[in-house]
Chains A and B, each alone.
Chain A
C-alpha cells in the first residue's frame, strides 16, 4: 500500500517535474492523432502540403470501394492475428508447464527461449526467408505465405510469453494441486479446473497483448514478402506505409486507414485496461 508523505499543500513545482514527460507524450500521442485526423480529411502530399478538403472521402474509399485494398489487408491481418494467438497459446503455455517440470536446465531454457525476443525482427526475418525456402517454400505460395510469416512471429514471441506464463504458473499455490490430488483428480482435470481458471489473468493478458501486437505486423511483410505473393501478405500496417510514403498524395488516405485500424484495436485495448485493474482471482 502506498503511503503518501502526508497530505500537505499543493506543490506547484510538481508541474515542472511532469512537464517534460507530459509534453512529449502528449505531443506524440493525442496531438499527433489529432493532426492525422485533420490530414485524413484532405488530399495530402507531404511535399505539397495540404490539398483539397475531401471530408470523409478517404474513409469511404477505404471502407466502401470495391477495389479497396483496405478490406483485403484487414482480412489478412485478422487471419494473421488468429494464427498468432493460437500459435502463441499452443506453444508458450505448454512450454512453460514443461519448463517447470523439467528435471535439468530450467534456467538455461529460460535464456535460450528468450533469445528471439531480444533479436531485432529484421534479423529474424532475413534468416527465416532462407529457412522457409528450404522447408517447403512456404513463402512462395499465396496459400501458405501468411502462415509462414505467422510462424516467424510466433517463433519470436513464444519465449517472452513463456516467461509470462511461468510467472503466472508460479503464482498458483501448490496447495490447490495437493488438495485436488487428494480428491483423486487426474492431470487433465487438474489442468482444466485449477490451472486454467487461476491462470485467467495471464491468459487474458497474453492473448490481448499478442492480438494488439499482431495487428501491427509490418517487418515480416516488408522484409520477406513485400505484400506478395498475390497480395496474400498485404497487411494493414504495410498498406498504411505504402500509401503514406511511397505513393504520391495519399497521406490523407493512409491516415484514414490508420484511424480505422485504431478503431478496430480500441476494443482489445479496452479489454487490456480492464485486465490491468483486475484483482487476483482467488482473493475474490
Chain B
C-alpha cells in the first residue's frame, strides 16, 4: 500500500544523497588544485617543513597566534616577510615562465588556426564535391586515425629530422597542421547543411570558394568553435612531442618548461607550483567561458554515428 507522495519523497531523498556523494567526489577533484595553489604561495622552507597543509604556515591562524604570544612560529622562518606572490614573480623573472607561456600560446594558436583552415577546406571538398577517387582517399584519411600518438612519436621525429626541422618552431607545429579527426567531424557537419542554399548561390554564379567562405563557414560556427577549442587545448597541453623535438629552452612551451624545473637539481617546488598554476589558468578560464561548446562537443565527438 504505497501512499501517493512516497515515490516523490523517495526521489527527493535519493536526489539529496546523490548530491552529497557527488559533492564528496567534487572535493576529491578539486583538492589537488587547492593544494597546488597553496603550495605555490609557500616559501621554500615552509614547503620543506610542511608538505601537507593547504594554507601556508605563515598564514595559518595557529602560527599567527604563536607569533603574537612571542613564541617560535612560522613567521620567523626565512621568507615569511616576502611578498605573497614572490614565487610567481620569480618564476617569470628567473625562470622565464613568461617565455614558456607565450610559446604555448603561439604553438596552440598557430596549430589551431591552420588546422581549422586546412581541415575545413578538405572537409568541404569531401562533403560537397565529387571527384575521382573520393571514397578511397577519404578511407585512407580515416585509416590514419588508427595510428596512436605514442606509436607515431619516433616516426614523426624521423620525418622532421629528415626535413631538417629538429629543434625549431616549424618542427614543433608542423605535425599538428592537419588532423584526420577534424576532417571527419567537419565533413559530418557540412553534410548536414541543406543543399538549397548552395544551390541558390551556384545559380547566382558563385564559385566554390565563395560559397565556402560566405555560406558554409558562417553556418558552421558552433562546430568550428568546438573543434577549435579542443584543438587549442590539446595543443596547449601537448608535452611529449615538444619534449622530444626541442632542446633550445627559448622555444619550450610551458609543459616542457615545467619538466625542466622538475629535473633541475635544487628544484624549487613552490616555484614549480606557481608555474603550474599559471599554466593551468588560461585553459580553465577558456573552459569556463566556453563551457557549452566544450561539453556539448563531447557528445558531438563521442557518439553520434551516422
Contacts and interface: CB of A to CB of B under 8 A. Distances in A.
Asked whether any CB of A lies within 8 Å of a CB of B in the complex, the reply is yes
Interface of A: 2-15, 17-18, 20-22, 24-33, 35-36, 39, 46, 95, 98-99, 101-105, 108-116, 118-124, 126-128, 130-131, 133-134, 155, 159-160, 163-164, 167-168, 171, 201-202, 205, 212, 215-216, 218-219, 222-223, 236-237, 240-241, 244-245, 251, 254-255, 258-259, 261-262, 265-266, 269, 273, 276-280
Question: 7 tightest A-B contacts by CB?
Answer: A103-B15, A32-B155, A216-B150, A17-B125, A2-B191, A21-B122, A36-B155
Interface string B109-151: 0000000001101101111111110100100110010111111
Chain A binding surface SS class: helix
A244 B157 contact: yes
Interface of B: 12, 14-16, 18-19, 21-23, 25-26, 28-33, 35-36, 39, 51-52, 118-119, 121-122, 124-132, 134, 137, 140-141, 144, 146-159, 161-162, 174-175, 177-180, 183, 191-192, 194-195, 198-199, 202, 208, 233, 236-237, 239-240, 243-244, 254-255, 258-259, 262, 269, 272-273, 276, 279-280, 283-284, 287-288, 291, 294-295, 298-299, 302-303, 305
B29 A115 contact: yes
Contacts of A46: 157, 161
Contacts of A35: 155, 158-159, 162
A241 B153 contact: yes
A244 B154 contact: yes
Contact of B237 (A4, A120, A155): A120
B151 A261 contact: yes
Contacts of B299: 163-164, 167
28 contacts: A2-B191, A2-B192, A5-B128, A10-B130, A20-B118, A20-B121, A20-B177, A21-B121, A24-B177, A35-B158, A36-B158, A46-B157, A105-B23, A110-B295, A111-B288, A120-B237, A122-B276, A127-B276, A131-B35, A134-B52, A171-B303, A223-B259, A236-B150, A258-B151, A261-B151, A262-B148, A265-B151, A276-B305
Contact of A134 (B15, B51, B124, B273): B51
Contacts of B198: 5
Contacts of A26: 140, 144
B175 to A, nearest CB: 5
A18 B131 CA distance: 11
Contacts of B272: 126
Interface centre among A10, A33, A123 (most CB of B within 10 A): A123
Contacts of B141: 21-22, 25
B287 to A, nearest CB: 5
B35 A130 contact: yes
A9 to B, nearest CB: 8
Contacts of B39: 127, 130
Contact of A118 (B30, B262, B284): B284
A120 B130 contact: no
A167 B302 contact: yes
B152 A32 contact: yes
Contact of A167 (B137, B158, B269, B298): B298
A17 B130 contact: no
B32 to A, nearest CB: 5
B151 A115 contact: no
Contacts of B254: 120
A98 B126 CA distance: 41
Contacts of A171: 303
Contact of A114 (B132, B180, B287): B287
B262 A126 contact: yes
A98 B18 contact: yes
A78 to B, nearest CB: 14
B19 A104 contact: yes
Interface centre among B23, B32, B157 (most CB of A within 10 A): B32
Given A35-B155, A167-B303, A205-B303, A131 B22 contact: no
Nearest to A261: B151
A10 B131 CA distance: 5
A147 to B, nearest CB: 17
A137 to B, nearest CB: 12
B79 to A, nearest CB: 19
A101 B18 contact: yes
Given A12-B131, A112-B26, A240 B258 contact: no
B280 A123 contact: yes
B303 A269 contact: no
A124 B277 CA distance: 11
A87 B140 CA distance: 34
A14 B302 contact: no
A251 B154 contact: yes
A201 B177 CA distance: 31
A160 B32 contact: no
Contact of A163 (B131, B148, B152, B298): B298
A102 B30 contact: no
Contact of B155 (A21, A33, A130, A241): A33
B305 A277 contact: yes
Given A111-B291, A265-B148, A123 B125 contact: no
Contact of A120 (B177, B183, B255): B255
